[in-house]
């Protein structure tokens, strides 16, 4: 694994908080039209980040154009940011309410996700067979571990990494929710997300002390902090979601969810540029090629 692609434990100093700002916010240093050293020399890697899909509750009007975009670019990597699966069928919230999971089975969820991953891997690697794929464990994936905690005799039959054949697919499984593992690209860190507080971006960037990008909250929120002693600026940002806005358990309540995903350029020196792409009415303009999908 290269210097810019690795997993680290949460809070490990090696996450190298926010050096990216050595690009400087110092107005006037970089003149308009003057190419930077990185732009004229080293080539950045291109990554796409997909937050909270919640299969089988993905939103087709959002996922379909996104998959078309995925197929049309030469990606270096893709990150599934957690909660790829909903796993309503084993949610502890439904324990005493069997009607809420009527007709649902764990097997059906696994089959559906495997089929989805077949298409996703093919699409993500269409123009770059060596594209790296990463899957962060979210709290919904963690439902399996909770279920096994209560039903230890099923151990060995439900574990997601095996059931979804992640190793065979060449997908890195990052235990974000249960073990606090962090996936890092240059100076950008990725986790599923730890909190749903109102001002979660501020809490996340303070907790991590580094640039941190996450899902979990299903909204898009950003908070930046300038660290005077180090002369750097770091930020925390949630990247939205790609699931239906009206899951049954929501019962039509108001929310602040937003359909969006992330596109990251990451240079070999760790500097990164990030675009959060909002999808409205099933449509977005891609930041990499200006095409409307």
Question: Which residues sit at the interface with Fe ion, rule CB under 5 A?
Answer: 52, 83, 138-139, 216
Least distance CB 54 / Fe ion (angstroms): 6
Q: What dihedral do alpha carbons 101, 106, 110, 113 form, nearest 10°?
A: 20
What is the 8-class DSSP label of residue 130? T
Nearest to Fe ion of 186, 215 (CB atom): 215
Nearest to Fe ion of 39, 249 (CB atom): 249
DSSP 3-state of 101: helix
Q: Which residues contact 181 (CB under 8 A, 6 or more apart)?
A: 7, 8, 9, 10, 174, 175, 191
- Rounded to 5 degrees, what are φ and ψ at 161? -55, -40
Nearest to Fe ion of 112, 128 (CB atom): 112
Nearest to Fe ion of 138, 236 (CB atom): 138
Taking each helix axis as running N to C, give the angle between helix 106-124 and helix 60-72, from 0 to 180 degrees, rounded to the nearest 10. Answer: 30
Least distance CB 250 / Fe ion (angstroms): 12
Residue nearest Fe ion by beta-carbon distance: 83
Least distance CB 192 / Fe ion (angstroms): 6
Nearest to Fe ion of 44, 138 (CB atom): 138
Least distance CB 220 / Fe ion (angstroms): 14
Nearest to Fe ion of 138, 270 (CB atom): 138
Burial class of residue 255, CB neighbours in 10 A (0-12, 13-18, 19+): exposed
Least distance CB 245 / Fe ion (angstroms): 12
Least distance CB 251 / Fe ion (angstroms): 17
DSSP sequence for 29-70: SSPTT---HHHHSSPPEEEEEE----BTSB-HHHHHHHHHHH
Q: Do residues 144 and 89 lie in contact, with contact meaning Cβ atoms separated by under 8 Å?
A: no
What is the 8-class DSSP label of residue 209? S
């Amino acid at each position: 694994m290269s210097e810019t692609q690795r997993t680290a434990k949460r809070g490990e100093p090696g996450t190298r908080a926010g050096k990216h700002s050595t690009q400087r916010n110092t107005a006037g240093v970089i003149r308009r039209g003057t190419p930077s050293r990185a732009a004229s020399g080293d080539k950045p890697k291109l990554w796409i980040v997909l937050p909270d899909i919640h299969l089988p509750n993905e939103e087709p009007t959002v996922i379909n154009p996104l998959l078309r975009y995925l197929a049309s670019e030469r990606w270096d990597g893709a990150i599934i940011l957690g909660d790829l699966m909903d796993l309503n069928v084993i949610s502890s919230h439904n324990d005493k309410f069997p009607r809420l999971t009527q007709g649902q089975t764990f097997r059906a969820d696994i089959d559906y996700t495997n089929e989805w991953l077949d298409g996703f891997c093919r699409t993500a690697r269409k123009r770059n067979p060596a594209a790296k794929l990463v899957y962060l464990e979210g709290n919904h994936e963690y439902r399996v571990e909770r279920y096994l905690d209560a039903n230890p005799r099923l151990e060995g039959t439900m574990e997601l990494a095996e059931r979804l054949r992640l190793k065979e697919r060449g997908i890195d499984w990052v235990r974000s929710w249960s073990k606090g593992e962090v996936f890092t690209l240059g100076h950008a860190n990725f986790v599923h997300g730890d909190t749903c507080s109102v001002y979660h971006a501020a809490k996340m960037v303070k907790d991590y002390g580094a640039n941190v990008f996450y899902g979990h909250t299903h909204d898009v929120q950003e908070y930046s902090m300038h660290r005077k002693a180090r002369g750097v600026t770091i930020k925390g940002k949630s990247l939205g979601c790609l699931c239906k806005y009206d899951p049954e358990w929501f019962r039509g309540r108001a929310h602040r969810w937003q359909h969006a995903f992330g596109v990251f350029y990451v240079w070999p020196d760790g500097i990164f540029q990030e675009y959060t792409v909002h999808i409205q009415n099933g449509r977005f303009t891609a930041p990499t090629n200006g095409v409307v999908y």
